[in-house]
Amino acid sequence: MNTRSKLISLKKAVILRRALARKGKTAVFTNGCFDILHSGHITLLEKAGSLGDFLFLGLNSDASVKRLKGPGRPVNSQKDRARLLSALCAVGAVVIFRSDTPLELIKALKPDILVKGADYTAPKIVGAAFAGRTVRIPLVKGRSTSALIGKLSKGWLSKSQGTSHRSQVER
């Protein structure tokens, strides 16, 4: 499998979406930053993918993540995030978008199903009016990029291993 072939432009995504519709296939859409991939992301993507025949994933660009999450983000570049997400069998295609919301992408694709995490309330789900229906998927408790970054910034890795990285390198 060539994961790079799953990273497509909006123009190609629209052509693919039309082809899927002609074949009677159900198109699902979700989006996010996916900065540090974790099991909560995987659960959401697997469940989203299981709702239809093809999962489009809208990925926030580096500039968008920085605006939304702050100056220390993203941790991983959009190129790396897209490559990792493309390697997942649940994901059919990845489309990077530069705006803060995927509204234009959703308007263009008009997915049959729009998927968001349950932390989004119905009135706050961007693009819901352009999808056939919206599904909110429960989050995996204790799994978030922010929590991982918090653990790392507090030296969690060093504490959990019983020694610091520096002392391991010096040995």
Residue 126 has a pLDDT of 95
- Sorted by sequence, the CB contacts under 8 Å of residue 3 that are 6+ apart come out as 83, 86, 87
**How many CA atoms lie less than 13 Å away from 149 in the CB half-sphere?**
14
Residue 120 has a pLDDT of 76
Residue 2 has a pLDDT of 78
**Backbone torsions φ then ψ of 124, nearest 5 degrees:** -95, 5
- Sorted by sequence, the CB contacts under 8 Å of residue 165 that are 6+ apart come out as 157, 158
Residue 151 has a pLDDT of 61
Helices and strands, counts by H and E, the chain = 8, 5
What structural domains and CATH numbers belong to the chain?
3-140 (3.40.50.620), 143-171 (no CATH)
Per-10-residue mean pLDDT of the chain, 171 residues long, equals 89 98 98 90 96 98 95 92 97 97 98 91 89 90 61 61 44 36
Residue 36 has a pLDDT of 87
Residues 29-65 as b/e (b if ≥16 CB within 10 A, e otherwise) read bbbbbbbbbbebbebbbebbbebbebbbbbbbbbebb
Residues in the chain: 171
